[in-house]
Structures are given as C-alpha cells and as structure tokens.
Homo-oligomer: A and B are copies of this chain.
Amino acid sequence: MRNAMRTMAAVASAALLVPASAPAATPDTRAAIEKAGADFAATFTKGDAAGVAAMYAADAQLFPPESDIVTGGAAIQKVWQGVIDSGVKGMKLTTLDVVESGDLAAESGKAELHGADGQVLEGGKYLVVWKRVDGRWKILRDIWNSNAPAPVAK
C-alpha cells in the first residue's frame, strides 16, 4: 500500500474536467504570467539553469515529485540543472487559469517535457504561486505532478 497517493489516479481519471476562474486575474496579469511561463520554457530549452533559477523569488520553494521541499536560488538551479543533464531538452508550458489578489497570483497549467528529438517524454500539470516583486512577477511556490500512471507496484 505504499502507493496510496497513486491510487487516486484511477479514480480521478474518471472525473470531469471543467474550466474555472475566480477571482480571475486581470488581463495584464494573465498576459504577464503567460509571458513569464513562455520565457521559463525558452530559457530551460536553452539549457540555462541559472536563467531559470533567476525567475524565482529569493524566498521561493520548489516541490519536485519524490523529493523534499527545495528552497532558495542555488538549490533550485541545481534541480533544474539535474533535469537538463538527465536528457530533458525542451519544455512546453500552457497556462490554464490565473487567479490574483494584490501581489499574489496562482497559475494552474499543463507541462510537457521534450526529448532531444522533440518527443514528449512526460506530461503533467502544475500549480505556481507568483509574487509581484518591484513590479515583476516572480515564482514563489512551484509544484507539479505527472498525468501518467506510475508503474504497477508489486
């Protein structure tokens, strides 16, 4: 039963998917966050882990699957460098929804990781909390998980 969290998969896959968006972000915030996501993916695809890490706030936390929480720019850069080194050569992020209040925003979206030939290695979804710092949106919290079922545990 150590895969209890994964058990949710079969149940959840049968459930409905309906758009939702309240309190919706302003068009300017939505556009800024979509742009930041596109920049993130482009920077990753260049193999620039330091550039990716620079998009996080100073007090950011990353929540990678099968890992403890990762805090701070140097540690976050190390995670992304490891992903790049593992053979992930590209990324596509698609914003689905943004909610906003003051200097906080929360974005949900879909992610694809691409291999050297552009093939999709894995698909997932993410939730990112953004913080506006000196007028720019920076990533404060970043968590994702896979859409695909895990290998069956014996």
Q: A interface vs B, CB < 8 Å?
A: 1-23, 59-72, 74-76, 78-79, 81-83, 86-88, 96-97, 99-104, 106, 108, 113, 115, 121-122, 124-127, 129, 131, 140-141, 143-151, 153
Contact = CB atoms under 8 A, between A and B. Distances in A.
A89 B68 CA distance: 24
B121 A79 contact: no
A6 B127 contact: no
Contacts of A104: 23, 99-102, 104, 106
Contact of A12 (B64, B115, B121, B146): B64
Number of copies: 2
Contact of A122 (B4, B59, B65): B4
A71 B17 CA distance: 5
A69 B108 contact: yes
A-B pairs, top 6 by smallest CB distance, nearest first, are A11-B82, A12-B67, A9-B66, A101-B102, A15-B75, A20-B59
A72 B16 contact: yes
A3 to B, nearest CB: 7
A9 B87 contact: no
B18 A71 contact: yes
A63 B75 CA distance: 25
Given A7-B86, A15-B68, A20-B71, 12 more contacts: A1-B115, A1-B121, A4-B83, A4-B115, A7-B82, A12-B62, A12-B67, A13-B67, A14-B78, A17-B70, A61-B97, A106-B106
